[in-house]
Amino acid sequence: MQSSPGMLTKFESKSSRAKGIAFHPKRPWILVALHSSTIQLWDYRMGTLIDRFEEHDGPVRGVDFHKTQPLFVSGGDDYKIKVWSYQTRRCLFTLNGHLDYVRTVFFHHELPWILSASDDQTIRIWNWQNRSLICTMTGHNHYAMCAQFHPKEDLVVSASLDQSVRVWDISGLRKKHSAPTSMSYEDQIARANQNQTDMFGNTDAVVKFVLEGHDRGVNWVAFHPTMPLIVSAGDDRLVKLWRMSETKAWEVDTCRGHFQNASGCLFHPHQDLILSAGEDKTIRVWDLNKRTAVQSFKRENDRFWVIAAHPEINLFAAGHDNGVMVFKLERERPASAVHQNTLFYITKEKHVKSYDFQKDVESPTLLSLKKLGSPWVTPRTLSYNPAERSILVTTPNDGGSYELVNLPRDGSGAIEPSESKRGSGNSAIFVARNRFAVLNVANQTIDIKDLSNNTARSFKPPAGTTDIYFGGTGNLLIITPTTVYLYDIQQKKTTAELSINGVKYIVWSNDGLYAALLSKHNVTIVTKTLEQISTLHETIRIKSATWDDAGILLYSTLNHVKYALLNGDNGIVRTLDQTVYLVRVKGRNVYCLDRAAKPRILRIDPTEYRFKMALVKRNYEEMLHIIRTSSLVGQSIISYLQKKGYPEIALQFVQDPTTRFDLAIECGNLEVAVEMAKELDKPKFWTRLATEALSHGNHQIVEMCYQKLKQFDKLSFLYLTTGDHSKLARMAKIAEHRGDFTARFQNALYLGDVEDRIQMLKEIDLYPLAYTTAKSHGLEEECEAILEASGLTEEQLTMPALGKPLVPPKPVVSTFKSNWPTKASSQSYFESALLGQVEGLSLEDEPSAANGVDAEHAAKDEPAENLIAIAGEDDDDAAGWDMGDDDVPEIENDFVNVDSAEAGGAGSCEADAWARNSPLAVDHIAGGSFESAMQLLNRQVGAVEFGPLKPRFLEVYRSSKTFLPALANLPPLVNYVRRTIDETDLRKVLPIIPRDLEHLASNDLQKGYDSMKANKLEDGVKIFQGILHAILVNAVSSESEVSEAKKLLASAREYTIAMNIELARRNLGSADEVAQDPAKLKKSLELAAYFTIPKIEVPHRQIALLSAIKVAIKSKNYNSALGFANRIIANGGSSKIVENAKKTKAQCERNPTDSIEIEFDQFAEFEICAASHTPIYSGAPYEECAFDGSKYHSSYKGSVCRVCGVCEIGKHGSGLRLFS
């Protein structure tokens, strides 16, 4: 038999054979004693193994939790009983005494006693407080398999392989051990001794009844929790029910069904059921009153050894050959439906009741559904039709059936429905006031029926349909395991669908616009047209949901009530101590049904989610109200606001100065930021404030910050930019006092104070500079004074050419007087609302955020421009000044000395060695010595513009080190990647160079060719320039590679020039523009012709020639075209191109003249100037780039090479070194 519909497995574990099980009375824990000697503690709700206890030798058979203390007891085949603390996770002590396997152990429900049954044929009672054996019950003459205390009375029941069940009276023992404590020590001894002598008389525990009836050994026995009943299970495959009175006990009946040894049995704690488990791999459920089988569950391979019930919750556990399973017998979700202010629901007794939310009143039973389905299966769903006041109920019984009944006007007790219509189906719901839909899963049909239960229409739902829900008027929501469909009943077709797995319940919002689709771990919110709005995931199982009137979804998991906003934000509203099913929210009340189908009201605090909802809806009035009326503070709300981009609102909640400062900076509220910075008064905060204030153009705050930070240079510059000369003068004074000559010089420069500068230069004995300064400002007297002081005459001096004296610009506007104007924008709508400045707030009002942003931008841009302008000026000024100091120092040979070995214990790193070991720029770069690398490049090839080389520099540098993780909490060990892998001598090692010659030739060059073919010339120029830069900063391993590198270099140069020429032609303008302007037309024809000159690969040259022909013919320059065609033919190659060229040739030969004269002589020797794109005829003077060899007219000498973009044209160096 398969698992019957009612049995639901909640948890399964995999392990060795499970022999003992115990539920924790309060927590979701289960102890499992294993044949492998381990005891496991599982959280069956989360499915996690909490702990393992391994001290027994051999199998453990019995375990039990203490009801109140953090203790449990175990007994095993090592004859030992152990008492453990699961808090400290250790065995507290061991009770020794049994002489054979211990089968079961149980705590007494109130006394500090443990009851054990053992194969030594005895049953013993131990006191775990003083850790002593207090009673030994003898009488069984075979293994005692099980012994349990009676839950209330002083009785013990035991089962033995001697085929008997015995009931023992232990009231004597209780009397003895709950005697007054005033007993003297002697008395105690006497009594203890007396006990010993009682070994055989045994008045402490006497056999009350011996129950004989099993004709094989009995494995398990249990008392009924309330009635005087006993159930036992034996190797005769029978489960027997016994009854006892004060004086006698007798067999009531036998449950037959197990076809192998029955190993365990128990009474259902709340219902009139017996559960039993056996080695026939089944768990069976029996009706206590009729002793008939109700359900049976079979496992494929695992024999059951033990079964246990949770004392409170409707949960059971069974141990088998490969672990345990926790299960329940039936769904506990009460069927219910809400209509307006009334909840209709079905109780466990299958009574239909209603509940009025407003009055908080439960109705008497309206109807009894006892006859619906089988007695042990409660209905699954309830659908209510207000028009007819009728209900549709479905039950999983008999493969699913439904019943349509009318509710009486008012309930007057358990009335059987007067008239009912029923049929088979798995789901049945009302879809209109006179129609309902029934899903039959087995046939995969949906029937639409009228109220007299006649089928009006019928259709096939999508394959695999498992459930249906109301989908809005005239619509059904059809659920399959992977998809939800919106089905229009009238049109008989699906109008929308959404892929979503495992939806189990659907809850509509009160306005019918949204629905929440609940699956085991997900809530998905959709619109009424099934468009997904948001989804969220829960690790704990989701049980139910209901909508607030404001459009907030409240849902319950096993242990929480949570909320979800439409945007998917969610949070916890409260915790739950037991599982409930939410049915409605109203204000602070959440109405729900508990598992016993009792309506309950939970109080909640909706502030948090209301506030968040208001925030989402920008309902500032409501937010304001909430802030004012409730104590809504705390880190979570602050970080939420910050995360959502409302720092200015978060600011209202914070007291902590650091956080306030952070938030103020974030929302640009300088006032608060200043206030907080003053309070905190730390350089870190002033620096940040200065940066923020600068971006606001609030230079007064900036000034204050700089003052606080004592950043004199910055202050001076600030005063210069704001034109505040008086303060600048003060800065000069301060610099003088500080003896800081650089600062003083700078301030004098800013102020245009020549005298002070000269004075200062004299003070520090820099007479030549003082003289030059004086001279350039025409201060002849001063000059003479200086000459006199230094004992020289004017004739003895050779003066450099003097530029114009430096005069700082005069401020046009005194911007220092006030801050740069910004649009007042820092105050958000919300803030002003809080300050009470806004009246008549309304929902429609949008905050002025958008304006604010604009204003801020405007404010930011303005000062930024000013700054740049001023900075630029400053540079120019500096250019006028003698820059002699900055000149590149001369270096005698190729080796650049790099400082090594700092003092102290530390050594120098390998990267430093690289620079020492190599004269190549690239090795200096890899070692991080950029300055010396630049010096080398400058000297070798006249490199002056390093900007384009930056990516290459960083690429080389980045490749040089790896990070080897070593000990915890320390930074990784840095190691240096070498290209000399086998070398270990630090004087010879050299760094790895990314993109070596081979890589360039096989990757980058091909990409460049591709871009030529694909006519992507801009990209092409970039690629070829990239190749040039990579060659410039590279190393090769032999002289022969040097010549290869030169070839590659030449190729990259030619392509760059060619592409630049063609790009220049294209940039002349559109075809029309060019055609109309004779000058441009001429230039265009020339450039097209020059495009064919650079020495690029033949196939690419053909492309250039083709393009030149095209341009020439268009302007009727047949002679030129003829020349190009001849060259194509001469080049040969692809026959198609050659054929076309021949045609062109024939066409042009008829009229070999040019209509526009251009400067292009196809027979002359010339090269193209890479800057002007005009010919340099042989013999004419030219300059070239020392690195790439591109040629230029002499007038371009001194400017940056157009091809590599790095070197100065005409500057000849020692030549590029790639190999040492």
Partner 1 sequence: MDPYSAEGELINIHTHFYQSQYQQVIDFDTSSFSPENAIPARVLKLRARLALGQAEDVLAEVQGETIPDLEAIGALAEFNLGKTDSALKTIEKLAASAGDNVTVQVVGGTVLQAAGKSEEALALLSKHQGSLDAVALIVQIHLQQNRTDLALKEVTAARRWAQDSLLVNLAEAWVGARVGGEKYQQAFYVYEELAQGSSTFSVQSLIAQAVCEIHLGRLEEAQSALEQALQKDPTNAEGIANLVVLNSIAGKNNTEELLESLKKANPHHQLVLDLEEKSSLFDKAAAKYSAKA
Query: Interface with partner 1 by CB under 8 A: which residues?
Result: 52, 89-90, 886, 888, 904-910, 928, 930-931, 934, 938, 943-947, 950, 953-955, 957-959, 961-975, 977-978, 981-984, 989, 992, 994-995, 999, 1003, 1196-1200, 1208, 1211
Q: How far is the CB of 909 from partner 1 (least distance, A)?
A: 5
795 or 985: CB nearest partner 1:
985
Distance CA 609, CA 574 (A): 12
Residue 1165 to residue 1187: CA distance in whole angstroms = 23
Q: Where are the alpha helices (DSSP H) in 1115-1212?
A: 1118-1131, 1135-1149
Q: How far is the CB of 924 from partner 1 (least distance, A)?
A: 11
Tell the smallest beta-carbon distance from residue 893 to partner 1 (Å).
Answer: 21
Q: Which two tokens stand for residue 110?
A: 């109130």
Measured CA to CA in angstroms, residue 1076 lies from 104, 674, 1049 at distances of: 108, 64, 40
Nearest to residue 646, comparing CAs of 615, 674, 669, 673? 615
- 994: number of CA atoms within 13 Å, CB side? 15
CA dihedral (111, 112, 116, 120) in degrees, to 10, reads -110
Give least dist CB 673 to partner 1, A: 23
Q: Kindly tell me which of 801 and 981 has the beta carbon lying closer to partner 1.
A: 981
Query: Which tokens go with 362?
Result: 């439960």
Q: From the CB of 803, what's the least distance to partner 1, in Å? A: 16
How far apart CA 715 and CA 997 sit, in angstroms, is 51
Neighbouring C-beta atoms of residue 870, cutoff 10 Å: 15
Contacts of 960 (CB under 8 A, 6+ apart): 911, 926, 927, 928, 976, 977, 991, 992
Which amino acid is present at 678?
K
Residue closer to partner 1, measured from CB, 464 or 872: 872
Nearer to partner 1, 968 or 1079 (CB): 968
**In terms of C-beta density within 10 A (0-12 exposed, 13-18 middle, 19 or more buried), how is residue 356 classed?**
middle
CA distances from 951 to 90, 933, 954, 1019, 1055 (A): 62, 14, 5, 16, 21
Surface-to-core class of residue 865, CB atoms within 10 Å of its CB (0-12 exposed, 13-18 middle, 19+ buried): exposed
Q: Read off the amino acid at residue 156.
A: V
Judged by beta carbon, residue 812 or residue 970, the one nearer partner 1 is 970
CB of 1171 to partner 1, least distance (A): 11
| C-beta neighbour count of 738 within 10 angstroms | 11
In the complex with partner 1, which residue's Cβ is closer, 644 or 1197? 1197
506 CB-near residues (< 8 Å, 6+ apart)? 469, 470, 477, 479, 484, 515, 516, 517, 518
State the minimum distance, in angstroms, from the CB of residue 959 to partner 1.
4
Give me the least distance between CB of 48 and partner 1, in Å please.
12
Residue closer to partner 1 by CB (options 601, 1001) is 1001
Record the tokens describing residue 773, joined without a space: 């300064």
Which helix (H) or strand (E) segment is 338 a member of? strand 336-339
- Paired residues of 114 in beta bridges: 107, 126
- Shortest distance (Å) from residue 450 CB to partner 1: 59
CB of 1188 to partner 1, least distance (A): 15
Tell me how far, at minimum, the Cβ of 152 lies from partner 1, in Å.
Answer: 37
**Minimal distance, residue 988 CB to partner 1, in Å:** 11
Question: Minimal distance in Å, beta carbon 1005 to partner 1?
Answer: 13
Residue 943 contacts by C-beta under 8 Å, 6 or more apart in sequence? 934, 937, 949, 1032, 1187, 1206, 1207, 1208
**Closest CB to partner 1 among residues 323, 927:** 927
**Min CB(981)–partner 1 separation in Å:** 6
- Smallest gap from residue 24 Cβ to partner 1 (A): 20
Nearer to partner 1, 90 or 457 (CB): 90
The DSSP code for 1001 is I
- CA dist 1217 and 1220 (Å) reads 7
Residue 510 phi/psi, 5-degree rounding, is: -65, -30
User: What type of residue sits at position 1189?
Assistant: G
The SS3 of residue 39 is strand
Shortest Cβ 1187–partner 1 spacing (Å): 13
88/247 with CB nearer partner 1:
88
**Judged by CB, which is closer to partner 1: 801, or 970?**
970
Nearer to partner 1, 530 or 1169 (CB): 1169
Distance separating alpha carbons of residues 241 and 249, to the nearest angstrom: 11
CB distance 378 to 350 below 8 Å = yes
Residue owning tokens 């915790």: 575
Give whichever of 1101 and 1211 is closer to partner 1, judged by the CB atom. Answer: 1211
Rounded Cα distance between 241 and 228, Å, is: 11
Nearer to partner 1, 23 or 1196 (CB): 1196
Burial track 538-566 (b if 16+ CB lie within 10 A, e otherwise): beeebbbbbbbebbbbbbbbbbbbbbbbb
- Nearer residue to partner 1 within complex by CB, 532 or 975: 975
Nearer to partner 1, 84 or 242 (CB): 84
**Closer residue to partner 1 (CB): 414 or 909:** 909
Q: How far is the CB of 1069 from partner 1 (least distance, A)?
A: 28
Q: Whose CA is closest to 820, among 731, 695, 716?
A: 695
What angle is formed at CA 678 by the lines to CA 674 and CA 679, rounded to 5 degrees?
120
- In the bound state with partner 1, the residue whose beta carbon lies nearer, of 767 and 946, is 946
What's the closest the beta carbon of residue 442 comes to partner 1, in angstroms? 45
